Structure 1
Amino acid sequence: MLILLIGQIIMSAVLSVSTKFSVIVLVITIFYFFFYPVFPLSDTIAINAAKRHNKNFITVRIFGSIGYAFFALFIGYVLSVIGSSQTMWVAIGIAAIALAITLFIKDQDSPVAKMDMSGIWGILKQKELLWFFGCVFSLAIAVRMNDAFLTVTLNNLGASENIIGWSQLASSMSEIPIFLLLSLYGEKIKELPLLVFASLMFATRFLLVGIADSAGMIVAIQLLHSVSFGVFYVTSIRMLTRLIPDHYRATGMALYTIVWSSASGLLSGTFGGVIFEEFGRHNFYIVAMSFALFASLGFASRYFYRGPRVKTVTGAGVQLSAAQAATAASAEEESVGK
């Protein structure tokens, strides 16, 4: 984590003085090399810490929403005063604060298996997990399209940095009550119906953004973030931790991040700009809505399809214990709608 944060700070400093487009692309690529791994690492640390202290992971994750909401609003006002040209220096300051906090975090004991690609491949051959990643990828394309062009949409509608900050505040704060509710009652509802619901809420959200005619409407629409991302995030992490053994949790979270952020961001960024420029905002969000609907159909079809029970995963250096195999089987039964 320390290395990743230091890398972010260095790349942000380089980016702040870069002027050539080719150099900027290269620096951003290296920046994301240090940026995206923070998410699976921090989530893994939070999950292990919550388990060790008999706490719910979601109650820990709520502080991430609070921090995001605060900085979304705070940065909007700061940039309105100092100018958007100073954005990277603000980012460096925030990364430096995170680095200082990380100095007080200790490594946590958790079950770890030796790196064995054949064992990981044995886990990835689970049909349930591949189906899950496929649906997540489809939904992620839609989400990354919105993430990349929401600011462009707001700017086109005449929004200032303050309004953009308020839109981010509305979305992040709306997560908190959903996180609390799901931490208390989420286990009573099976994962796949919740994922279907979240995907449909994403589709509704993108449709509304596509037809909105003012920045104020989009800020209001951002409140749907609660029943779309809030429900999806909690439920997807819950399902992932049940499908993957504890000692491969960090690897599973890394694969999840690749699907949810990296690969989907690459694809959506490649054709998203073309669609937005050539066909306009409305058609752009219709495409995003279509990907979200496709994901909902994928989750729904898995819910109604009773696949085979999960078997004990074996491979070179990997063999689930009886307790882990029972947990995996239970997760399979729940996820196909027993």
Structure 2
Amino acid sequence: MKSSLVKRPDQAWLRAFLFTVFGAMVLLVSYFPLYYRHLGFSSTQIGYLYAIGPMISIFSNMFWSMASDRYGTIKKVLLVLLAGQMLLALCLAATSSFGMVLFIITCFYFFYYPIYPLADTMSISTAAKYGKNFTTIRVFGSLGYAFFAIVIGYILTSAGSSWAIWVAIGLALISLVIGFRLHDQSSGAPGKMNVSGILDILRSREMLWFFACVFLLAIGHRMNEAFLTISLQDLGADQGLIGWALLVSSISEIPMFFLLSLYGDRFRELPLLIIASLMYVLRFFLMGIVDTPVGMMAVQAMHSVTFGIFYVTSLRYLTRLVPSQFRATGMALFTIVWSSASGLLSGAFGGIIFEEAGRTAFYYTAMAFSLAAFAGLILKPLLVRSTDSVTADSPTEF
């Protein structure tokens, strides 16, 4: 008997694709700040470089996701994005001035950020096609992140931070090759975008409340993401140890993904989101206290009960509120709030706080934003009534 992967090659290729593109994410999130420091940029300049991507992605996520919904294709859009990434990374490797790096990375981010909501949309559609759980596919992204966190860490320890760009080019090329083998998926029937339908969803008080809490929680998450590697380096960690720290966080979320896939539907979304936000408060409080790389690595294991719970539960909640024909656009809106708008604020002001006030004040600021999100989630039943009828579709199985 043929294995299920042979019978369903679209799942196998999609898992390989997620493994690679989420592996590439570790470069942008964790090793590019070290590359910028290698070029001689200050923490404030690094913060600006981190912030420009989320600002651009506010527009790029909507542009490419609406194009995907409009033309009924995800695969072709992904191929265009990967080709653009590779070409711009080649340009980035040829310059070292802050002005040119800022310009090129701005263009690069236009093709970089939309890949992840579109990949998640394809995963959701493929899982629904075979009656599978979304996390059984998405977990390969976490495995790729964990694998490349270690591999890239040791490569850059041996070769130097200057090779970060060439590793990014190689991963983009591999992802592009795998992308040609993907089976195309659509979040809905192709046709003219019904913008009024999206506006109706955004008029929902529950949706606006949800996005507001996501935004507050994401600020702290993105602050940690942008300056974790720099914090570790300042405490004396080399890039190999930094890779292990990233491995701890990415591996820790995998068991949580599986647990939520098996038992998550026994719990309502709101209590799970409240638990995740409270754990974020504790996580950033501890990050402000520890003063050794090993201590930071230990705290990073809380990624499982923070991001692991929050991400899966948020997608489950989002698919209940957004009709399936707007799935790609709904994911883009979530990504704009979770990554783009929050990344813009955390990068621009986080770098200033880190440079002027120090690491402890930096993490206590992140904790304050998480505490505000926790308060918003606790008060939700008093302030916002549920609007399950906002979508006529049944929720996607997670």
Compute the TM-score of the two structures, normalised by the length of structure 1. 0.91
Query: How many angstroms does 1:260 deviate by?
Result: 0.7
Partners of 1:306 and 1:295 in 2: how far apart? 15
Query: How many angstroms does 1:249 deviate by?
Result: 0.6
Query: How many angstroms does 1:207 deviate by?
Result: 1.1
Contact 1:171 1:224 in 2 (8 A): yes
Query: How many angstroms does 1:310 deviate by?
Result: 4.6
Specify the SS of the correspondent of 1:108: coil
Pairs aligned (count): 317
150, 166, 171: which one aligns with 2:244:
166
Report the equivalent of 1:78. 155
Give per-residue Cα distances to partners, 1:232-291, cap 9 Å, x unaligned: 010001000111011101000001111111111111111111111111111111110010
Report the equivalent of 1:25. 102
Contact 2:206 2:384 in 1 (8 A): no
1:49-128, aligned counterparts within 5 Å? 49-112=126-189, 114-128=192-206
Partners of 1:259 and 1:281 in 2: how far apart? 25
Report the equivalent of 1:137. 215
Contact 2:320 2:388 in 1 (8 A): no
Give per-residue Cα distances to partners, 1:163-183, cap 9 Å, x unaligned: 110011000000111011000
Report the equivalent of 1:270. 348
The answer to whether 1:182 aligns with 2:252 is: no
Which sections of structure 2, spanning at least 5 residues, go unmatched?
1-77
294, 307, 311: which one aligns with 1:216:
294
Report the equivalent of 2:87. 10
Specify the SS of the correspondent of 2:311: helix
Query: How many angstroms does 1:306 deviate by?
Result: 5.8
Contact 1:194 1:235 in 2 (8 A): yes
109, 114, 118: which one aligns with 1:41:
118
Report the equivalent of 2:367. 289
Structure 2 CA distance for partners of 1:66 and 1:306, relative to 1, 3 Å? same
Structure 2 CA distance for partners of 1:260 and 1:55, relative to 1, 3 Å? same
Partners of 1:302 and 1:154 in 2: how far apart? 37
The answer to whether 1:204 aligns with 2:287 is: no
Partners of 1:200 and 1:168 in 2: how far apart? 22
Give per-residue Cα distances to partners, 1:179-201, cap 9 Å, x unaligned: 11000000011101111110111
Partners of 1:100 and 1:143 in 2: how far apart? 32
How high is the sequence identity, in percent, across the aligned residues?
54
Structure 2 CA distance for partners of 1:160 and 1:309, relative to 1, 3 Å? closer
Q: Which amino acid aligns with 2:233?
A: N
Contact 1:192 1:303 in 2 (8 A): no
Partners of 1:210 and 1:237 in 2: how far apart? 29
Contact 2:149 2:243 in 1 (8 A): yes
Q: Which amino acid aligns with 1:133?
A: F
Report the equivalent of 1:227. 305
Q: Which amino acid aligns with 1:30?
A: C
Query: How many angstroms does 1:308 deviate by?
Result: 5.7
Query: How many angstroms does 1:307 deviate by?
Result: 1.3
Query: How many angstroms does 1:303 deviate by?
Result: 3.6
The answer to whether 1:252 aligns with 2:340 is: no
Partners of 2:161 and 2:97 in 1: how far apart? 18
Query: How many angstroms does 1:73 deviate by?
Result: 0.3
Structure with larger RCO (C-alpha < 8 A, sep 6+):
2
Partners of 2:188 and 2:347 in 1: how far apart? 37
Partners of 1:122 and 1:110 in 2: how far apart? 19
Specify the SS of the correspondent of 1:81: helix
Which sections of structure 1, spanning at least 5 residues, go unmatched?
313-319, 329-338
